Chains A and B, each alone.
Chain A
Amino acid sequence: MRAENLLQLQHRTQKCTLGCPVLDRCLAGGVPCASVTEFVGESGCGKTQLCLQLALSAQLPPSHGGLSASSIFIHTEFPFPFRRLRHLSRAFRASHPDLPCSDPCDRVFLRAVHSAHELLNLIPTIETFLLHSKSPWRPVRIIVIDSIAALFRSDFENTGSDLRRRSSLFFGISGGLRQLAKRFGIAVVVTNQVVDLIGDGDVSFGSLGNGLYSSGRRVCPALGLAWAHCVNSRLFLSKDEDEPPVKTRKMRVVFAPHLPHSSCEYVIKGEGVFGVEMMQHREEEINL
C-alpha cells in the first residue's frame, strides 16, 4: 500500500454533469466520481427523472461536462420507465447531434433487483463486468440504484435483530459500492425515499434531513442514521404546491464534503429536468 500524492490526484474531483448548467452550478459541476451521492425525496418529485437524465448526460464528452461513459441502471421499482427514457433520449440526441452513439439508450445497462441480498451479490458481478466486458460501450462510469429504500422497507421487521441485520447489509452494500467507485472512478447515485416525521422528532439528528419540508409535510430521509453514514453526499428534492397551478421543486444540499449548504429550484419538462435561476428568492431570504 502506498501513499497517494495529492498533487498527482486531480485537483478537482471529476464530476458528471446532470445535463443542466443551473443544477450543475449548485453541485459545483455535477455528481462527483469515486463517491456515493444520494437523492432523497418523496414520490413524484423527480428522483428517477434526474437519474435517467444523468445516465444520458454521462455520455457527453468531458468538454461538455460528461464522462464519455456508459451507465449501469439498477432498478428496484417496477416497471422501469422505458417510455420516459426513450422520450428523454430522443430529446438528448436532438440537442447533441454530434455524439458518436446512434442511440443513447444503447449505453444504459439495465438490471432489475428484487432484494437487498441480491444487490449485495450483484456487486462482484458488476466488478467482473467492468473488468472483462467486451462491450463496445465501455467504460462504465455511472451506477444508479433507483431506489435503495424500496429494497429495505418491506423485508425487515422492527425488531432488534432484524434492524441489526439491516444495518449490517447497509454497510456491506455501501462498502462494495464505494470500493467500485474508488477503483473505477465511478459516480454512484442512489435514490432514497422519505418518511413523515411525527411529533417533535429528535433535534440532535440536525442536518440529517429533519426539518425538511416537502408538500407542506415535515419529512426525513428513510433508512435512518446507519444508512446516512453510508453515503458521501445527500441531496434533498422537494416539491411544494402552495398555489396548485404553480409547482415549486427544490434541490437542496443536505451534506456533502465539498459543497456548502445551498439550494436550487428546478422544473421537470418534456425534455428533462432543468434548474431555474432564483435571484428573486435569494434576495427574499436575505431580507428575512
Chain B
Amino acid sequence: MEVGMLPISASKRGKLLAAGYTTLDAIARASPTHLARGFPFQFQFSTLLSFSNWVCIYVQKFLFFSPTHYLTLTDIDVSESEATEILNLASKPSALERPNGSHTAVVGDLDNILGGGIKCKEVTEIGGVPGIGKTQIGIQLAVNVQIPQEYGGLGGKAIYIDTEGSFMVERVLQIAEACIEDMAEYSRHFHKDFQACDVKMHPNNILENIFYFRVCSYTEQIALINYLDKFITENKDVKILIVDSVTFHFRQDFDDMALRTRLLSEMALKLMKLAKKFRLAVVMFNQVTTKHIEGSFQLTLALGDSWSHSCTNRIILFWNGNERHAFIDKSPSLKSASAPYSVTTRGIRNSTSSCKRIKMM
C-alpha cells in the first residue's frame, strides 16, 4: 500500500514521503523511536485518530508489537494519558479497526445512507408502523454483527431484548443461512484464501451468539438494562444491543406521565453509558403514534418529544406506495437522506425493481 493513497492532507503526505516513508510497510516496520526521530510533523493523538483505517491498523500493529516503546511515545508529542489510551486501544484489536466503529448494518442502499452501517458507541433509534420490518432489521443486525472481520464485519455477539414476542427463531435461522451463503459467495469472488473461514461459520454458531432476553413488563425491562452492565462485562465480545421495542411496556399502566418520562430518560442514559463503556452499538425500536399538529394528524414516533432527545441517531421507516423506505431523521454526522429497501426471505435487501416485486407477490 502506497503512502500516496492515504486519505490524509497533502502536506502531511508530502512530509511522510520526504522522510522516506513511501509505503505503509515501511511505517509499520519502523520502530516508534525511529518514527519519532524521523517524523517531520507533530504526531498528535487527534491526527492519529483522524487517520484512515489502514494507518490505524498499522499504528496499532507496531504499538502492539512493541509496547516496551511506550515511553518513546512522549517524544512524539503525545501526553502520557493519551499514550495509555492508545495502548489500550491497541490491545483491543477491533476498537481501532474501523475509525468510525461502524459496522455493516444492513445491506447496500441502507448502509450507504448510514455512512457504512450502524455506528458503535452510539444509540440509534429506528421507528415505523407495524409490518414495516423493524423486527426483520433487528434480526438482520443480530446476524450481521457476527460476520467475521475478514469479511468486513465485527465478529461480535449480539444481545436481543424482545418486549413484544415477535422474535422467531426460524426466521433467524433463515437469515443466518442466507448470510453464510452470501459470505461464501463473496469469498469465492474476491479471496481464494478464506475457504477455511467458511467451515467455521455455521447457522448454529450464529444462533448461539445471540443472547435473547424476553421481557414481559417495564419493571423487568429496567431491571434488565441495569443488569446488562454486569452481563456484558462477563461477555466482552458483545458488539450490539437490540431492544425491540423500547416502547411497548411504556404505553400501558402509566397515569403519571412525569414518572414515565423520568424512567425513560434514566433508561436512555444507561443505554448510552453501555454504548460508550463497551463500545457497542445500541439499536432501539420505537412504535409510531399520531400527533395532532395544527388541525391535522401526523404520524410521529411514540414516547413524546423529550424522548426524541435520548438517541443519537433516529431513522424512520415508512411506506412509499408499495416500497419500504428508510429516512434519517436525526444524526450528528450524516445528512438526511432516504433509501428504499425490501424484506425478502433472505433478509433485508436492496429494493428490487417493481416488476420483480409483483411476481413475488
Q: Point out residues on A near B: beta carbons under 8 Å.
A: 1, 3-7, 9-13, 28, 32, 34-36, 160, 167-168, 171-172, 174-175, 178-179, 181-183, 202-208, 225-226, 228-229, 231-232, 234, 254-255, 257-258, 260-261, 285-286, 288
Contact = CB atoms under 8 A, between A and B. Distances in A.
B321 A175 contact: no
Contacts of A28: 170
A182 B210 CA distance: 19
29 contacts: A1-B213, A4-B214, A6-B172, A6-B207, A7-B204, A12-B170, A32-B168, A35-B165, A160-B292, A168-B251, A168-B253, A168-B254, A171-B252, A175-B217, A175-B252, A182-B216, A203-B321, A204-B319, A205-B129, A205-B319, A225-B288, A229-B287, A231-B130, A234-B131, A255-B131, A257-B171, A260-B360, A285-B361, A286-B358
Contact of A234 (B130, B136, B210): B130
B252 A178 contact: no
Interface string B158-187: 010000111111111100000000000000
Given A181-B165, A261-B361, A225 B212 contact: no
Interface of B: 129-132, 135-136, 159, 164-173, 204, 207-208, 210-214, 216-217, 220, 223-224, 227, 231, 247-249, 251-254, 287-290, 292, 299, 318-319, 321, 344-345, 358-361
Nearest to A171: B252
Given A13-B168, A182-B165, A7 B136 contact: no
Nearest to A261: B361
B132 A207 contact: yes
Contacts of A258: 168, 170-171
B131 A13 contact: no
Nearest to A258: B168
B216 A179 contact: yes
A286 B359 contact: yes
Given A1-B220, A225-B289, A12 B169 contact: yes
A37 to B, nearest CB: 11
Given A11-B169, A204-B318, A208-B130, A3 B299 contact: no
List 7 tightest A-B contacts by C-beta distance, closest first. Answer: A206-B319, A255-B131, A171-B252, A3-B211, A6-B207, A258-B168, A257-B166
B289 A226 contact: yes
Nearest to B358: A288
Nearest to B245: A229
Is chain B's binding surface mostly helix, strand, loop or mixed? mixed
| Residue among B165, B213, B224, B359 having the largest count of chain A Cβ atoms under 10 Å | B165
A28 B217 CA distance: 29
B210 to A, nearest CB: 6
| Residue among A28, A35, A174, A257 having the largest count of chain B Cβ atoms under 10 Å | A257
B170 A168 contact: no
Contacts of A226: 251, 289
B180 to A, nearest CB: 16
A232 B208 contact: no
B320 to A, nearest CB: 8
Given A1-B223, A228-B129, A234-B131, 17 more contacts: A1-B220, A1-B227, A4-B213, A5-B212, A6-B169, A168-B253, A171-B248, A175-B253, A179-B216, A203-B319, A204-B129, A206-B129, A225-B289, A225-B290, A257-B135, A257-B168, A257-B171
Contacts of A172: 252-253
B236 to A, nearest CB: 15
